[in-house]
Amino acid sequence: MSKSNNREPRKNNQSIVEEKLKTLNLGLPEPIKGANPEMKMPPSWIRVRGNRAFISGHGPQNPDGSIAGPFGKVGNDADVTLEQAYQAARLATLSILGTLKRELGDLDRVTAWLMVSGFVNVAAGFTKTTAVINGCSELILELYGPEVGQHARTAMGVATTPFGIPVIIAAEVEIDITAQIPIDAFRSSNEDLENIGGIIRKKGTIGE
Pairs from 191-199 (Cβ < 8 Å, separation ≥ 24): none
Q: How many structural domains does the chain have?
A: 1
Helix H or strand E segment including 124 = none
CA 141, CA 147: separation in Å to the nearest integer?
9
Q: Which residues of 122-147 are buried (b: 16+ CB within 10 A; e: fewer)?
A: bbeebebbeebbbbbbebbbebbbee
The pLDDT of residue 207 is above 50: no
pLDDT value, residue 183: 45
167 located within any domain = yes
Name the residue range of residue 120's domain. Answer: 16-181
186 located within any domain = no
* Ramachandran angles phi, psi of 201, nearest 5°: -65, -35
pLDDT digits (tens, 9 = 90+) for 179-195: 764 444 444 445 444 55
Domain of residue 157, CATH code: 3.30.1330.40
pLDDT value, residue 64: 96
30 located within any domain = yes
| 23 three-state secondary structure | helix
192 located within any domain = no
pLDDT value, residue 43: 73
Q: Which residues contact 75 (CB under 8 A, 6 or more apart)?
A: 122, 123, 124, 125, 126
5 located within any domain = no
pLDDT value, residue 25: 97
196 located within any domain = no
41 located within any domain = yes
pLDDT value, residue 14: 74
CA 83, CA 25: separation in Å to the nearest integer?
19
Q: Which H, E and C letters describe 72-97, residue by residue?
A: CCECCCCCECHHHHHHHHHHHHHHHH
11 located within any domain = no
* Ramachandran angles phi, psi of 6, nearest 5°: -130, 5
pLDDT digits (tens, 9 = 90+) for 128-174: 999 999 999 999 999 999 999 999 999 999 999 999 999 999 999 99
Are 92 and 136 a contacting pair, CB within 8 Å? yes
Q: Which residues contact 181 (CB under 8 A, 6 or more apart)?
A: none
